Amino acid sequence: MRILILGSGGRECTFAWKLAQEISTENIFIAPGNAGTAKYGTNVDLSLKDFEAIGNFCISHSIDTLLPGSEETLVDGIRNYFENLESLKHIYVFGPDKTGALLEGSKDFAKKFMVKYNIPTARYESFKKGEELLAKAFLKTMKPPYVIKADGLAAGKGVVIPETLAEAENCVDEMLRGQFGQASSTIVIEEFLKGIEVSFFAITDGKDYILLPEAKDYKRIGENDTGPNTGGMGAVSPVSFVDDTFKNKVIEQVVKPTMNGLQNESFHYRGFVFFGLINVDGNPFVIEYNCRMGDPETEVVLPRLKNSFSEIINKAKTGSFSEIVPQFDQRYCTTIMLVAGGYPGDYTKGKPIEIGTVTNSIVFHAGIKISDGILKSNGGRVMAVSSFGETMIEALDKSYSSIKNINFEGMNYRTDIGKDLL
């Protein structure tokens, strides 16, 4: 395998870390990568919007496998681009094509899919520009709080949960007027589900699937889940309330019908499927699908995977997942995200980072680059500190004690990751 990973976050650093245990780092490339990925392969300065440049690099460097980390390149159709060009079609793209990626790229598409395949999800209706009155009439049939979602990708900001009808009506107007551009020219209004969130992940070869360990991430910036949403402030795996009964419901009611649906629709889906679930009184409901792994969930899920990741990727190509016996580390894995002061609002980059000796944790770099020979912050989420433990507390204690050896000006992190699960 000679692989190019696309992305520059903690997720991509974890992919590179895992692959570097299996194949020569000479065969691992990351575009654009970060200071951490540079330890596991070669960083390449490519724009993820520039498919032509990515294709040219793959040819000139004899890349045989492409692993897109984030949803944008998949939704933009990187797999279609490679498959449609004579010069690139021999290169294997591990991820869904443009249609499959709509599971994440269009909430309306995902909802229709769930309804068609009888997958539990919140009651909903979709509305287009010009249908404001219908949307407001539908709101009146719902109870507060109201859940209003931009149909398309909106950089994680496209979901609004207003408490009052007046605010909800206003939100309908703003979104349909183009608050998120094309992404909110259609909106989904759905029932508010009350429960605790948990994420499940599967990898599929288009026919069979491997269920990865579940994880819970912590999205808000502040302790006790307060303040604005972030990309994710930490994660734990496994999740204590996921017992066999709940897991079986997830498999039978969500995972299997999703896989059947993907096949039935002939999406030729391969790659990751991320199930964003909510546990409502012991029953799983799908809040969202993503067509890629989560970040920071990858930083706790992939370390638990004992199988070879490169073998899984290769077997997805040949449709031979049935040969794989998935094996996971039974210990807990937790990660704490260290973020820049000010994040998720305005924050400054370029802060020198000191990392002392960290022996009990794995540090996955995210927004970090090397400049003038020193590590400097280069993003809102700067690094993820992951640790194993026989108990969740032991794993968390290790991450928090490792963090004492890491510092940069303005460094912020949540001290309550996992506490709600104790």
Residue 341 within binding range of ligand AMP, rule CB under 6 A: no
Q: Compare residues 23 and 159 and give the one whose CB is closer to ligand AMP.
A: 159
Q: Compare residues 197 and 397 and give the one whose CB is closer to ligand GLY.
A: 197
Mapping DSSP to helix (H, G, I), strand (E, B) and coil, where does residue 85 land? coil
In eight-state DSSP terms, residue 33 is -
Nearest C-alpha neighbor of 384 from the set 308, 290, 293, 298: 298
Residue 97 within binding range of ligand GLY, rule CB under 6 A: no
Give the x/- contact pattern for ligand GLY in 220-239, rule: CB under 6 A: ------------x-------
d(CA 347, CA 35): 19
Give the x/- contact pattern for ligand AMP in 134-153, rule: CB under 6 A: -------------x-x----
Q: Compare residues 97 and 217 and give the one whose CB is closer to ligand GLY.
A: 217
Task: Kindly indicate which of the ranges 35-43, 53-61, 188-196, 293-301 contains the residues binding ligand GLY, using the contact rule CB under 6 A.
Answer: 293-301
In one-letter notation, the amino acid at residue 206 is: G
d(CA 255, CA 274): 10
Residue 294 within binding range of ligand GLY, rule CB under 6 A: yes
Give the x/- contact pattern for ligand AMP in 174-213, rule: CB under 6 A: ----------------xxxx---x----------------
- Torsional sign, CA 394, 400, 403, 404: negative
Q: How many residues bind ligand GLY (CB under 6 A)?
A: 6
**How far from chain centre, in Å, is Cα 400?**
23
Residue 276 within binding range of ligand AMP, rule CB under 6 A: yes
**How far from chain centre, in Å, is Cα 26?**
27
- Torsional sign, CA 309, 310, 313, 315: negative
Written as six digits, the tokens of 297 are: 């969930």
By CB under 6 A, name the one of 217, 262, 271, 332 that touches ligand GLY. 217
By CB under 6 A, name the one of 75, 287, 336, 403 that touches ligand AMP. 287
Closest approach, Cβ 407 to ligand GLY, in A, equals: 25
Residue ranges in 66-125 that form contacts with ligand AMP under rule CB under 6 A: 122
Quickly list DSSP for 124-181: EEEEETT-HHHHHHHHHTSPSSPEEEESS--TT--EE--SSHHHHHHHHHHHHTTTTG
d(CA 366, CA 33): 9
Q: Compare residues 146 and 309 and give the one whose CB is closer to ligand AMP.
A: 146
> Are β-strands 28-32 and 3-7 bridged in parallel, bridged antiparallel, or unpaired?
parallel
Judged by beta carbon distances under 5 to 8 A according to partner kind, the member of ligand AMP, ligand GLY, none in contact with residue 76 is: none
d(CA 292, CA 79): 13
What are the E-state strand segments in 24-72?
28-32, 42-43, 65-68
Cα 340 to Cα 98, 337, 408, distances in angstroms: 33, 10, 8
Q: Compare residues 149 and 315 and give the one whose CB is closer to ligand GLY.
A: 149
Closest approach, Cβ 165 to ligand GLY, in A, equals: 29
Task: Kindly indicate which of the ranges 44-52, 55-63, 86-94, 294-302 contains the residues binding ligand GLY, using the contact rule CB under 6 A.
Answer: 294-302
Residue 295 within binding range of ligand GLY, rule CB under 6 A: yes
Residue 235 within binding range of ligand AMP, rule CB under 6 A: no
By CB under 6 A, name the one of 279, 290, 335, 378 that touches ligand GLY. 290
Which residues are near ligand GLY by CB under 6 A?
Answer: 217, 232, 290, 294-295, 297
Which residues lie near ligand AMP (CB under 6 A)?
Answer: 122, 147, 149, 159, 190-193, 197, 276, 287-288
